[in-house]
Amino acid sequence: MLSCPNTLAQTSTAFVPADKFDIPANNGAINFAVNGSYSTATFEGSTWTFTNLLINGSEPLQNLEISTENSNVTIFSYHTRILDFPSDQLRYFVQGRGQQIINIGVGLQGESNVDWVVSSNRSFISNGWTVSHNGTVTLTGLTGNISITYFGFTNQLTNSNLPFYEQHSVAIAVAVLFAVTVAVAITVAVKRRSSAGETISDD
């Protein structure tokens, strides 16, 4: 187990799931679900900052700042997408109804429209989290599997005079897609139950 003091500064330092990055004053801890490496891991205040983070099976993450209070966090993966809607996604598991403060190095850029989506246990949620102007996401009281997804693209959607649906088209599109998926799943489940009932009644 790795209980790190203030700074770890080596080139490509490896870590394993058993390594633990504690935040004693906040009753919090961070670890990773799989092996990986980083250039530096610095602890300052109550925040761990990882540079050039590489989680096995994920894309490189240049900078991750994370703090947790009254909760333990296990980070699963970080993925980026450059086709269709550019996006960045961090997935982790949280135990304990505390708070996490996370910055993955993306956020409001003057010329870019930004949409954020947070899901908890595969359900999109609108409460329990906020995003600051520098892209820092604060989540409170959420447990289980959490996904933080940032959608950002440079175009004229930053114009505050545009209608709401145009400024937040990505988030709306994702929400609609999720709703359609749930509706289809419910329909299939109902049909299966109906078929099962008919089969039983025929016997």
Judge if 140 and 189 occupy the same domain.
no
CA dist 131 → 26, 53, 64, 121 (Å): 21, 22, 15, 20
Residue 29 lies in a domain: yes
- When comparing pLDDT for 159 and 95, which is higher? 95
Judge if 145 and 194 occupy the same domain.
no
Give the residue from 158, 174, 193 where a domain finishes.
Answer: 158
Judge if 170 and 148 occupy the same domain.
no
Quick one: what percent of the chain has pLDDT higher than 90?
A: 56
Judge if 50 and 92 occupy the same domain.
yes
Longest dimension (CA), the chain: 71
pLDDT in tens, 133-148: 888 999 999 999 999 9
- E strand or H helix that includes residue 147: strand 144-154
The arithmetic mean of pLDDT across residues 20-40, rounded, is: 98
End-to-end CA distance of the chain: 60
Judge if 75 and 152 occupy the same domain.
yes
pLDDT score for 196: 54
Quick one: what percent of the chain has pLDDT higher than 70?
A: 65
Could you identify the residue written with the tokens 């966090």? 73
pLDDT score for 114: 58
Judge if 84 and 128 occupy the same domain.
yes
Judge if 147 and 183 occupy the same domain.
no
Judge if 117 and 184 occupy the same domain.
no
**Residue 171 pLDDT > 50:** yes
Q: What are phi and psi of 201, to 5 degrees?
A: -70, -25
**What is the number of structural domains in the chain?**
2
Task: Look up the domain containing 16 and give its range.
Answer: 7-158
pLDDT score for 154: 37
The two structure tokens encoding residue 203: 């016997």
The two structure tokens encoding residue 195: 């078929």
pLDDT in tens, 156-166: 344 444 444 44
